[in-house]
A and B are shown apart, each in its own frame.
Chain A
Amino acid sequence: MQKASFLPFFFIVPALFVICLTMLLPILLITASSFFDVSIDLNYRFIGIENFIKMFYDTKFLQSLINSVIFVGGSIAGHCIFGLLLAIALMSSVKFREIYRGIALIPWFLCDIMIGVCFIILFTQFGVVNAVLYSLLKTRINWLLSPEWAIWIVTLANIWKATSLYMCIDSSGLASIPKEIIESAELDGAVSLSKYRYVILPLIKPFVLLSLIVSAVGTFNYFGLILVMTRGGPLGSTTVPAFYMYKQTLEYFQIGYASAIGVFIFIVNMVIIALLRRAGAGLI
């Protein structure tokens, strides 16, 4: 490696500038403005931690926390499990692997609006799913307008959208396992199920952990599908904290309050990452 004194810093500076502008500065601004009561034309007055106190007494916010447990938990489970299954399934069939991978990657590249509209059309009162349900059970459920089911549909849409990303992560993990290990396990008499359980799964734990972290934090921060599909949902049942923040900013114009929620989301992100890394370090 070459040892130059300041040149690499010059190379890094543009990337750092871009990242800091759109990540660090907004975080600082949010933290600052969460202590103020900011209106839409940037008039502010200092109110201390009143925003945070208001946050913890707000029933809608507390409900959004519960919703986020379902949304994020379900998404994590779906992403990691299905991503792993897809990666393992694609590992064996070498012939059409590239084509399958290309097709599997498509949902992730679709716009949020498209996916939202797709799922809305599938799950409306007279949509496909209800048609099947009616022929089997003689009932129709209005999925997206019922407070119990809406959150699950949104979770399903999120799982469908992003699973391919985690499949890619797990695929690269599976590809990094040297073939000799698998062959020696087979020589020692490992049948397919125990082969997976005792050899492959432990070896890809870092990648599964990475999937967990990325999925958890990414889903917690994400509200695009909710915005398109239910806009907060029937009786606030699909509101997650990030979407509640969006609503506060653009509908109620309570930028200070929204900033407080943003600070909360940021802290939860860091806690999630720290916890998962701690748990993962114990496992690896």
Chain B
Amino acid sequence: MLFINSLTGSFNIFSVGLHTFSLERYFVAIQGSGYAYINSLLVAGAAIGINLVVCSLAGYALARFRFFGRSFFMYFIWLTYAMPLISAFVGIFLLFKFLNLLNNLFALALVCAAMSTPVNTWMAIGYFNTIPKEIEEAALVDGCNVLQIIFQITLPLSAPVLISMATYTFFMSWNEFIIASILITRKELFTYPLALLYVSTSQIAYGGGIVYSIVAAGSVIGTLPVIVIVLFFRKYLVLGFAGGGYKIV
């Protein structure tokens, strides 16, 4: 079933009641929404950048130090993972409207980063727990301070989990269109899914409603980066999930 369903998405660019094979719908889709590709990439890139820094720092602190409130923080992070408050979007809408940040791509990147922060921090903690402390203690003896240890020893050793975090954040922000549809209302700032919807609903020639074949064509284009990344970084994704330590129940 998985195969069939994932293939029909591509087949439908060819014939949905119209029985015509043509790449024309691809061109329409690209024409209408190509610019949004860049917007999506920007948002995803910014979200990845924020997340890598923020989550590896937090993960390092939670994995290596023992301080007051540590277990509370870990439970808090688990809670924010288990309870995805997407339905708090009204609050996000109110907050960003109040801060006047509504049509701001960076604000969207921040929200996307925040949505994947719990899982990323979790991955980081799990991975940092597997790096032997002796290396860092040796560096400490040699006179490094903590920041030097993090950036020159721990992070270079954590390439796998950094890639995991980056890919996870990329997917979360690329596919996120509910929050994007609330936060971004100016046409030229749309991310890719939004632009796709907009293009397909504005094709008046087909009598209104969503023209599914164009959406399907655009979706195939939109899936390409996802598929490429999944193919290449599959190993890291599974590593991230499995090593994240799902025993915290």
Contacts and interface: CB of A to CB of B under 8 A. Distances in A.
Interface in B206-249: 212, 215-216, 219, 222-223, 226-227, 230-231, 234-235, 237-238, 241-243, 246-247, 249
Interface residues of A, number: 87
Interface in A84-115: 98, 101-107, 109-114
A241 to B, nearest CB: 8
A102 B230 contact: yes
A18 B54 CA distance: 9
A119 to B, nearest CB: 8
A11 B57 contact: yes
Given A18-B54, A249-B93, A42 B98 contact: yes
B204 interface: no
A1 interface: yes
Interface in B1-43: 1-3, 5-6, 8-9, 12, 16-17
Contacts of A273: 79, 82-83
B4 to A, nearest CB: 8
A111 B222 contact: yes
A92 to B, nearest CB: 17
Contact of B249 (A38, A126, A206): A206
Contacts of B98: 42
A19 B80 contact: yes
Given A107-B2, A113-B196, A121-B216, A26 B113 contact: no
A170 to B, nearest CB: 9
Contacts, number: 249
Nearest to B233: A102
Interface string B173-215: 0110110001000000000010011000000000000001001
Contact of B73 (A12, A206, A259): A12
26 contacts: A4-B65, A8-B67, A11-B61, A15-B121, A18-B110, A18-B114, A23-B85, A33-B94, A105-B238, A106-B6, A109-B230, A111-B193, A113-B193, A113-B219, A119-B5, A126-B17, A168-B238, A206-B247, A218-B84, A241-B87, A246-B178, A258-B90, A262-B90, A262-B91, A266-B85, A269-B83
- The 9 A-B residue pairs whose C-beta atoms are closest, nearest first, are A26-B91, A15-B58, A11-B61, A22-B114, A8-B61, A114-B219, A172-B242, A8-B65, A26-B88
Interface of B: 1-3, 5-6, 8-9, 12, 16-17, 50, 53-55, 57-58, 60-62, 64-67, 70, 73, 76-77, 79-95, 97-98, 110-111, 113-115, 117-118, 121, 133, 140, 146, 171, 174-175, 177-178, 182, 193, 196-197, 212, 215-216, 219, 222-223, 226-227, 230-231, 234-235, 237-238, 241-243, 246-247, 249
